[in-house]
Amino acid sequence: MAELLNNYIAGERVAGRGDGTTLTDPVTGEALVRVSSEGVDLHAAFDYARTHGGAALRALTYAARAAQLSEIAKLLQAHRDDYYAISLANSGTTKNDSAVDIDGGIFTLSYYAKLGATLGDVHALRDGSAVSLSKDQTFKSQHVLTPKRGVALFINAFNFPSWGLWEKAAPALLSGVPVIVKPATSTAWLTQRMVADVVDAGILPAGAISVICGSSAGLLDQIDAYDVVSFTGSAETAAKLRAHRAFVTRGARLNVEADSLNSAILAADAAPGTAAFDLFIKEVVGEMTVKSGQKCTAIRRAFVPKEYLGAAADALVAKLSAVTVGNPRNESVRMGSLVSREQYDAVRAGIASLREEARLAFDGSQVQLVDADPAIAACVAPHLFVIDDASSAVRVHEVEVFGPVATLCGYKVATADSRLEESQAVELARRGQGSLVASVYSNDDVRLARIALELADTHGRVHAISPSVAQSQTGHGNVMPMSLHGGPGRAGGGEELGGLRALNFYHRRAAVQGPAASIDALTEPTGKVEI
């Protein structure tokens, strides 16, 4: 029987009872390790995190906590080879795809370590400047930010077991809030190993970071008024979470990142043969194939002027035809597997749904897998759909297929006297009912700005690309810690990252009114921050 991984709670290793759930290699079907949270004392875990981990973190300054993040990043960097091996075995990812998750997580940690060092040796932060409440300037008001006196619970998704942990944990720990992470069961091994390495190294105070692998049953029952919960997953599950008494009655904070039908828009000026057209094609193919399309930010709908539809489809098909799919242990393979046969079945069902209203321009079911048994492996080759007129489509704007699947949609370019030729493309993008990201491709930087502002009200991030940034742009789907990650409506309404803005979720804002001398003594000048 496969090894049973430990949970890390209350400053101790704790093994769950029973056989647990076996994690498998999604390419070969081989049993890897087991996880179980059965019998774990959740009350003790949360209480210890609050009373020991939280108190110890808050006793440190922001600069001191930032230094701990830096040490964690160095530790993880030293164990990268181990993490890559786990990612290959448990997630079925190529080396390049593993880097997005593992190196992306380490980079985010390092970024917040450097950012936190600028906050100084203080225990609270000023929010803005003091304001006088009296004519003689002796009585003032100052808004301050202090760390939440609770725990941060992360209920994470299966696609980013490393980055999904550290993009949340870095700002939480920097803020002085202890972390309990519940990774998605199917890919929990990498998260568990990273937390185990950090705990064993003794970088953080005991109870500052915990991991519970297995069932999530009972976790929300432990949430108190001063706790925060960050959830990444389906909109259906998010709706159930929002109805829990922890949020309805106790008023705990909840941040949600849910489904997202992200878009890419080819501007009217980006005709076939132009540099912007080529950038669009390259990005759509990349977003379909990186991580096998298992990214919350991946392009699901690509909008092009109707007159460019045929050329765009031909260009995409030509590039997709060159993508090798199968066992990532074979160096010729460019795209690995989905994380499980369960996800395989879900993607196949989504493809069947889209076929009801769109035609297949590239049918991945005809692709021969490399070193992988199609009856066992969770491999799905890219599928490209085409819809001539997306204004009459329904499913393409409602069904998110979480895999290497995208739909190329035609839009009608507005008349020359219209303020925005791409107005229909913007309207179609909005039919996603709120998305994490949309990208726009044009040869005209000013045109990009106009389109970006039109998209901003329904998207968390707008990625605007012209040939002038072809070599420096960071990619449609890459979430950078400097920029906001989250989106309105269907995307969950949450906000993560965005530099210092990420700290807001883990702080309480309060107004202190008092004598000018008291206000001046609240924090040192280095503790002033706007978030």
Active-site positions read: 257, 296
Q: Which CATH class is domain 262-485?
A: alpha beta
CB 501 within 8 A of CB 175: no
Angle of the 188-201 helix axis to the 62-78 helix axis, nearest 10: 120
Number of Cβ within 10 Å of residue 236's Cβ equals 9
What pTM was computed for the model? 0.95
Torsion of CA 353, 292, 497, 106, to 10 degrees: 160
3-258+494-529 shares its CATH topology with 262-485: no
Torsion of CA 421, 424, 429, 434, to 10 degrees: 100
Return per-residue pLDDT of the chain as tens, 531 residues. Answer: 799 999 999 989 999 999 999 999 999 999 999 999 999 999 999 999 999 999 999 999 999 999 999 999 999 999 999 999 999 999 999 999 999 999 999 999 999 999 999 999 999 999 999 999 999 999 999 999 999 999 999 999 999 999 999 999 999 999 999 999 999 999 999 999 999 999 999 999 999 999 999 999 999 999 999 999 999 999 899 999 999 999 999 999 999 999 899 999 999 999 999 999 999 999 999 999 999 999 999 999 999 999 999 999 999 999 999 999 999 999 999 999 999 999 999 999 999 999 999 999 999 999 999 999 999 999 999 999 999 999 999 999 999 999 999 999 999 999 876 789 999 999 999 999 999 999 999 999 999 999 999 999 999 999 999 999 999 999 999 999 999 999 999 999 999 999 999 999 999 999 999 999 999 998 765 555 555
Q: Where are the domains of the chain?
A: 3-258+494-529, 262-485
| Alpha-carbon separation of residue 303 from 147, 155, 258, 277, 308 (angstroms) | 44, 33, 22, 12, 10
The domain 3-258+494-529 is placed in CATH, from the list 3.40.630.30, 3.40.50.1000, 3.40.605.10, 3.10.20.740, at 3.40.605.10
